[in-house]
Amino acid sequence: MKIQVFGAGCPSCKKMFEVVQTAVLKIGLDTKVEYICDVQQIIAMGLMQSPVLVVNGKPVLIGFTPDIGKITKAIQDNL
């Protein structure tokens, strides 16, 4: 399992990373969340907004930081 947050290093992207880490702990997953600040990788996925939550190579939340409930659901729905 691979969970990543792609962002430009802005406060919104950092917040997404923190909330995703909390959600992973809440779910009880034994996986490390990666934080990737390479805008070129976001563009390579065909996306033009950040932050992006990626679960197992699939972008699942793009361009905003939702609450922990929505992030938890997005992770669980895409495991």
Q: What is the pLDDT of residue 56?
A: 95
Q: What pLDDT tens digit does each residue of the chain (79 aa) get?
A: 899 999 988 999 999 999 999 999 999 999 999 999 988 888 888 888 999 999 999 999 999 999 999 999 999 999 8
Q: How many domains does the chain have?
A: 1
Q: Which residues contact 55 (CB under 8 A, 6 or more apart)?
A: 1, 2, 3, 74, 75, 78, 79
Q: What is the pLDDT of residue 41?
A: 87
CATH number at residue 52: 3.40.30.10
* pLDDT tens string 46-57: 888 999 999 999
